Structure 1
Amino acid sequence: MIHLTDSAVEAARTALARAGEQVQGLRIAVKTGGCAGFKYAMGLVSEAGPDDIMIEHEGVRLFVDAESSPHLDGTTIDFVDSTKGAGFTFDNPNATSRCSCSKSFC
Protein backbone atom coordinates (compact mmCIF):
# COMPACT_ATOMS: atom_id res chain seq x y z
CA MET A 1 0.00 0.00 0.00
CA ILE A 2 1.20 3.50 -0.82
CA HIS A 3 0.50 6.34 1.59
CA LEU A 4 0.21 10.03 0.67
CA THR A 5 0.81 12.75 3.24
CA ASP A 6 -1.67 15.62 3.48
CA SER A 7 0.78 17.81 1.56
CA ALA A 8 1.05 15.22 -1.25
CA VAL A 9 -2.73 14.88 -1.44
CA GLU A 10 -3.11 18.67 -1.78
CA ALA A 11 -0.41 18.87 -4.49
CA ALA A 12 -1.95 15.95 -6.39
CA ARG A 13 -5.44 17.48 -6.18
CA THR A 14 -4.10 20.79 -7.50
CA ALA A 15 -2.35 19.08 -10.42
CA LEU A 16 -5.43 17.01 -11.25
CA ALA A 17 -7.74 20.05 -11.10
CA ARG A 18 -5.48 22.06 -13.41
CA ALA A 19 -5.31 19.19 -15.90
CA GLY A 20 -9.07 18.97 -16.37
CA GLU A 21 -11.65 16.23 -16.47
CA GLN A 22 -9.83 14.01 -18.98
CA VAL A 23 -7.22 13.10 -16.34
CA GLN A 24 -8.22 10.27 -14.00
CA GLY A 25 -5.27 10.18 -11.62
CA LEU A 26 -1.54 9.91 -11.04
CA ARG A 27 0.65 7.12 -12.33
CA ILE A 28 3.47 6.17 -9.98
CA ALA A 29 6.09 3.79 -11.32
CA VAL A 30 9.57 2.48 -10.77
CA LYS A 31 11.88 2.48 -13.79
CA THR A 32 15.40 1.20 -14.31
CA GLY A 33 17.87 4.09 -14.14
CA GLY A 34 18.92 6.92 -11.92
CA CYS A 35 22.17 7.05 -10.02
CA ALA A 36 21.25 4.20 -7.65
CA GLY A 37 19.65 1.65 -10.01
CA PHE A 38 15.94 2.49 -9.95
CA LYS A 39 14.14 5.80 -10.26
CA TYR A 40 10.63 6.98 -9.47
CA ALA A 41 8.36 8.19 -12.26
CA MET A 42 5.11 10.12 -11.84
CA GLY A 43 2.68 11.53 -14.30
CA LEU A 44 -0.95 12.35 -14.92
CA VAL A 45 -2.96 9.68 -16.75
CA SER A 46 -6.33 9.65 -18.47
CA GLU A 47 -6.97 5.92 -17.96
CA ALA A 48 -5.64 2.85 -16.22
CA GLY A 49 -3.30 0.49 -18.01
CA PRO A 50 -4.23 -3.19 -18.45
CA ASP A 51 -2.13 -4.40 -15.50
CA ASP A 52 -2.57 -1.36 -13.23
CA ILE A 53 -3.51 -1.52 -9.61
CA MET A 54 -5.64 1.45 -8.59
CA ILE A 55 -5.30 2.89 -5.11
CA GLU A 56 -7.57 5.70 -3.99
CA HIS A 57 -6.32 7.92 -1.18
CA GLU A 58 -8.57 10.74 0.02
CA GLY A 59 -10.11 11.11 -3.43
CA VAL A 60 -6.81 10.94 -5.32
CA ARG A 61 -6.47 7.95 -7.64
CA LEU A 62 -3.03 6.38 -7.96
CA PHE A 63 -2.28 3.94 -10.77
CA VAL A 64 0.62 1.55 -10.23
CA ASP A 65 1.66 -1.11 -12.74
CA ALA A 66 2.07 -4.67 -11.47
CA GLU A 67 5.89 -4.61 -11.90
CA SER A 68 6.31 -1.43 -9.84
CA SER A 69 3.91 -2.41 -7.08
CA PRO A 70 6.29 -4.62 -5.03
CA HIS A 71 8.99 -1.92 -5.15
CA LEU A 72 6.53 0.70 -3.86
CA ASP A 73 4.74 -1.31 -1.17
CA GLY A 74 4.79 0.67 2.09
CA THR A 75 6.11 3.85 0.48
CA THR A 76 5.06 7.23 1.85
CA ILE A 77 4.92 10.03 -0.70
CA ASP A 78 5.22 13.60 0.50
CA PHE A 79 5.25 16.97 -1.26
CA VAL A 80 7.92 19.36 -0.06
CA ASP A 81 8.20 23.06 -0.90
CA SER A 82 11.50 24.49 0.32
CA THR A 83 14.22 26.92 -0.70
CA LYS A 84 15.83 24.03 -2.63
CA GLY A 85 12.68 23.62 -4.73
CA ALA A 86 9.33 21.90 -4.67
CA GLY A 87 8.46 18.33 -5.49
CA PHE A 88 7.35 14.92 -4.40
CA THR A 89 9.61 12.87 -2.13
CA PHE A 90 9.51 9.14 -1.46
CA ASP A 91 10.15 7.35 1.84
CA ASN A 92 10.46 3.77 0.62
CA PRO A 93 11.07 1.01 3.18
CA ASN A 94 12.09 -1.36 0.34
CA ALA A 95 15.08 0.76 -0.66
CA THR A 96 18.36 -0.63 0.61
CA SER A 97 20.12 2.59 -0.39
CA ARG A 98 19.23 5.81 -2.14
CA CYS A 99 20.96 8.74 -3.76
CA SER A 100 21.13 12.16 -2.15
CA CYS A 101 18.33 13.56 -4.36
CA SER A 102 15.87 10.88 -3.07
CA LYS A 103 14.67 10.28 -6.64
CA SER A 104 16.73 7.13 -7.13
CA PHE A 105 17.17 3.96 -5.06
CA CYS A 106 18.21 0.33 -5.12
Structure 2
Amino acid sequence: MITLTSSALDAVRTAMSNTSDPVGGLRIMVETGGCAGFKYSMGLVPEPSPDDAVIETDGVTVYIDGKSQPFLAGTTIDFVVALQGSGFTFENPNAASSCSCGKSFG
Protein backbone atom coordinates (compact mmCIF):
# COMPACT_ATOMS: atom_id res chain seq x y z
CA MET A 1 0.00 0.00 0.00
CA ILE A 2 2.55 2.65 1.13
CA THR A 3 6.27 2.65 1.81
CA LEU A 4 8.16 4.64 4.43
CA THR A 5 11.86 5.20 3.80
CA SER A 6 14.36 4.52 6.57
CA SER A 7 14.60 8.28 7.15
CA ALA A 8 10.80 8.54 7.55
CA LEU A 9 10.76 5.54 9.90
CA ASP A 10 13.49 7.14 12.03
CA ALA A 11 11.56 10.43 12.18
CA VAL A 12 8.37 8.65 13.28
CA ARG A 13 10.25 6.65 15.92
CA THR A 14 11.81 9.86 17.26
CA ALA A 15 8.42 11.60 17.41
CA MET A 16 6.89 8.59 19.17
CA SER A 17 9.67 8.46 21.76
CA ASN A 18 9.41 12.21 22.47
CA THR A 19 5.73 12.23 23.42
CA SER A 20 4.29 11.48 26.83
CA ASP A 21 0.91 10.55 25.37
CA PRO A 22 0.15 6.90 24.61
CA VAL A 23 0.91 6.22 20.93
CA GLY A 24 -0.10 3.17 18.97
CA GLY A 25 0.92 4.44 15.57
CA LEU A 26 0.97 7.12 12.91
CA ARG A 27 -2.30 7.97 11.14
CA ILE A 28 -1.99 9.23 7.58
CA MET A 29 -5.00 10.76 5.85
CA VAL A 30 -5.92 12.66 2.72
CA GLU A 31 -8.26 15.60 3.27
CA THR A 32 -9.93 18.09 0.97
CA GLY A 33 -7.94 21.31 0.90
CA GLY A 34 -4.54 22.65 0.08
CA CYS A 35 -3.68 24.63 -3.02
CA ALA A 36 -4.01 21.62 -5.35
CA GLY A 37 -7.30 20.12 -4.09
CA PHE A 38 -6.20 17.53 -1.52
CA LYS A 39 -3.73 17.67 1.32
CA TYR A 40 -1.88 15.11 3.43
CA SER A 41 -2.51 14.96 7.16
CA MET A 42 -0.43 12.99 9.66
CA GLY A 43 -0.51 12.56 13.39
CA LEU A 44 0.35 10.19 16.21
CA VAL A 45 -2.71 8.40 17.64
CA PRO A 46 -3.26 5.83 20.40
CA GLU A 47 -5.16 3.28 18.28
CA PRO A 48 -6.64 2.68 14.83
CA SER A 49 -10.20 3.51 13.87
CA PRO A 50 -12.40 0.58 12.79
CA ASP A 51 -11.99 1.23 9.04
CA ASP A 52 -8.22 1.86 9.13
CA ALA A 53 -5.76 -0.27 7.22
CA VAL A 54 -2.94 -1.20 9.59
CA ILE A 55 0.56 -1.44 8.15
CA GLU A 56 3.55 -2.55 10.24
CA THR A 57 7.03 -1.64 8.97
CA ASP A 58 10.19 -2.20 11.01
CA GLY A 59 8.41 -1.64 14.33
CA VAL A 60 6.40 1.39 13.18
CA THR A 61 2.62 0.99 12.85
CA VAL A 62 0.82 3.15 10.30
CA TYR A 63 -2.96 3.60 10.14
CA ILE A 64 -4.66 4.73 6.92
CA ASP A 65 -8.36 5.53 7.01
CA GLY A 66 -10.65 3.83 4.50
CA LYS A 67 -11.40 6.96 2.45
CA SER A 68 -7.71 7.79 2.05
CA GLN A 69 -6.50 4.32 1.04
CA PRO A 70 -7.19 4.70 -2.73
CA PHE A 71 -5.43 8.10 -2.79
CA LEU A 72 -2.33 6.73 -1.04
CA ALA A 73 -1.88 3.39 -2.82
CA GLY A 74 1.74 3.07 -3.96
CA THR A 75 2.91 6.23 -2.16
CA THR A 76 6.44 6.50 -0.78
CA ILE A 77 6.89 8.75 2.25
CA ASP A 78 10.32 10.16 3.03
CA PHE A 79 11.69 12.54 5.66
CA VAL A 80 14.01 15.16 4.20
CA VAL A 81 16.36 17.56 5.95
CA ALA A 82 17.05 20.60 3.74
CA LEU A 83 18.06 24.25 4.03
CA GLN A 84 14.43 25.28 3.46
CA GLY A 85 13.33 23.10 6.39
CA SER A 86 12.81 19.52 7.37
CA GLY A 87 9.70 17.47 6.83
CA PHE A 88 7.92 14.56 5.27
CA THR A 89 7.63 14.33 1.50
CA PHE A 90 5.19 12.23 -0.50
CA GLU A 91 5.90 10.55 -3.83
CA ASN A 92 2.36 9.69 -4.87
CA PRO A 93 1.75 7.94 -8.21
CA ASN A 94 -1.98 8.82 -7.95
CA ALA A 95 -1.36 12.58 -7.98
CA ALA A 96 -2.09 14.16 -11.35
CA SER A 97 -0.66 17.46 -10.09
CA SER A 98 0.95 18.85 -6.96
CA CYS A 99 1.78 22.22 -5.50
CA SER A 100 5.30 23.53 -5.10
CA CYS A 101 5.33 22.86 -1.34
CA GLY A 102 4.65 19.14 -1.92
CA LYS A 103 1.99 19.02 0.81
CA SER A 104 -1.04 18.97 -1.49
CA PHE A 105 -2.01 17.31 -4.74
CA GLY A 106 -4.81 17.03 -7.24
TM-score (normalised: structure 2):
0.97
Number of aligned residues: 106
User: Does 2:19 correspond to 1:9?
Assistant: no
Deviation at 1:64, TM superposition (A): 0.4
| Structure 2: distance between partners of 1:49 and 1:93 | 25
Deviation at 1:20, TM superposition (A): 4.1
| Structure 2: distance between partners of 1:20 and 1:4 | 24
- The runs of at least 4 consecutive aligned structure 1 residues that moved more than 6 Å come to none
Matching residue of 1:27: 27
Deviations 1:18-48 (A, max 9, x none): 1247101100000000000000000000011
Greater Cα shift, 20-29 or 96-105? 20-29
2:95 is paired with a residue whose SS is coil
1:89 is paired with a residue whose SS is strand
Matching residue of 1:61: 61
User: Does 2:87 correspond to 1:95?
Assistant: no
| Structure 2: distance between partners of 1:40 and 1:21 | 23
Deviations 1:2-29 (A, max 9, x none): 0001100100110111124710110000
Matching residue of 2:44: 44
- The percentage of counterpart residues that share the same residue type is 60
Matching residue of 2:83: 83
Which structure 1 residue ranges, 5 or more long, are not aligned? none
| Structure 2: distance between partners of 1:26 and 1:56 | 10
Q: CA RMSD in A?
A: 0.9
Tell me the amino acid that sits aligned with residue 10 of structure 1. D
| Structure 2: distance between partners of 1:43 and 1:8 | 13
2:13 is paired with a residue whose SS is helix
| Structure 1: distance between partners of 2:42 and 2:88 | 9
Which structure 2 residue ranges, 5 or more long, are not aligned? none
Greater Cα shift, 19-28 or 36-45? 19-28
